[in-house]
Amino acid sequence: DAGVIQSPRHEVTEMGQEVTLRCKPISGHDYLFWYRQTMMRGLELLIYFNNNVPIDDSGMPEDRFSAKMPNASFSTLKIQPSEPRDSAVYFCASKGTNYNEQFFGPGTRLTVL
Amino acid sequence: SQQGEEDPQALSIQEGENATMNCSYKTSINNLQWYRQNSGRGLVHLILIRSNEREKHSGRLRVTLDTSKKSSSLLITASRAADTASYFCATLNSGYSTLTFGKGTMLLVSP
């Protein structure tokens, strides 16, 4: 099993540009979580999906952020337009219904100049 | 919001020593989990303790839970340089499906 896959691993962009982060969860997992990690705020849950349906997006900081899960094996987190304060490491994690453990991807380090 | 709060924020020890990290939380929980994060990597699940358990062991890891004090501790015995990482506690709150993570303890184990 390849684990949770995220791409790109690193992204450097300029303020105002659109950024799309991608995630492939572990096959068979029906929960998918997007987190953001910064030194100041730690690890924050942005949004999570269950069976491809967004359940709670209360952690999404503002309308510039959007997330989709068109099928069980793919999810995107989009920031449009990006701002320097969006610079962080973004993690995707997945888990199965009857399990408590979350499996994290390697993260995408986003730098907005 | 960050429910789990780890203590200390940073810990530096020598190989072979034991490392103890503490976590406090605020609301009722279903379970509490500990994760490790190596530099530049994602988090990895270490151990889970349920609200009706008081102690759990896994290899060199020992976790305790005191629900009356809303606190947990993670003990790593006979530490190794490879244990150098950040350690996070995460709570699964009663009635919810999501974890709330603390800000972590950075552990440095020197050879």
pLDDT tens-digit profile of A9-28? 999 999 999 999 999 999 99
Cβ contact A106–B98 (<8 Å): no
* Summary mean pLDDT of chain A: 95
Cβ contact A104–B98 (<8 Å): no
Percent of all residues in chain A with a pLDDT value above 70, rounded to a whole number: 99
Q: Say which of B45, B48, B103 has its CB closest to residue A42.
A: B103
**Pairwise CA distance, residues B75 & B78, whole Å:** 10
B48 contacts on A by Cβ (under 8 Å): 100-101
What pLDDT score does A1 carry?
A: 64
Q: Quick: pLDDT tens for A54-97.
A: 999 999 988 999 999 999 999 999 999 999 999 999 999 999 98
Residue A61 carries which side chain, given as an amino acid letter? P
Residues 6+ apart with CB under 8 A from B5: B23, B24, B25, B102, B103
Burial of B13 (C-beta count, 10 Å sphere; 0-12/13-18/19+): middle
SS3 A58: coil
What pLDDT score does B5 carry?
A: 78
Residue A51: Cβ within 10 Å count: 11
Residues of chain B with confidence (pLDDT) below 50: 1-2
